[in-house]
Amino acid sequence: MPITPRNLLRHELIGLECRVVKSLGPPYEGLEGVIVDETRNTLVLDTGSGEKVIVKDQVLLELKLPTGERVRVDGALLVGRPEERLTKRFRYAETVRGRFDPEDYLD
């Protein structure tokens, strides 16, 4: 099954290109790279100049899907082990309301 914006939260993130659009915590903003590892609370990005660990709950991410489409996701929705996200229920109406301004989700 191909990755789409609708099913992104249930897919494996390793290998996707990622950019931190906004950060609530430490200065992650502007980091770009490929996701090389994922834990319950963090993502590890290979930035080309080394690996950086990002706390999921603190960031708004822009992920590039294999189709070339770019999707912005509140990192709080990604908290949890990848295998647990398969069975987790998401309310898509609530995914729009987040801790970031609505304009942050637009290009």
Task: Identify the three-state secondary structure at position 1.
Answer: coil
According to the model, what pLDDT value does residue 101 have?
A: 61
Provide the pLDDT for residue 1.
73
Q: What pLDDT, on the 0 to 100 scale, is given for residue 105?
A: 57
Q: Indicate the residue type of 66.
A: P
Whole-model pTM: value is: 0.81
Instruction: Tell me the per-residue pLDDT of 34-93, one tens digit each, with 9 for 90 and over.
Output: 999 999 999 999 999 999 999 998 999 999 999 999 999 888 888 888 777 766 665 554
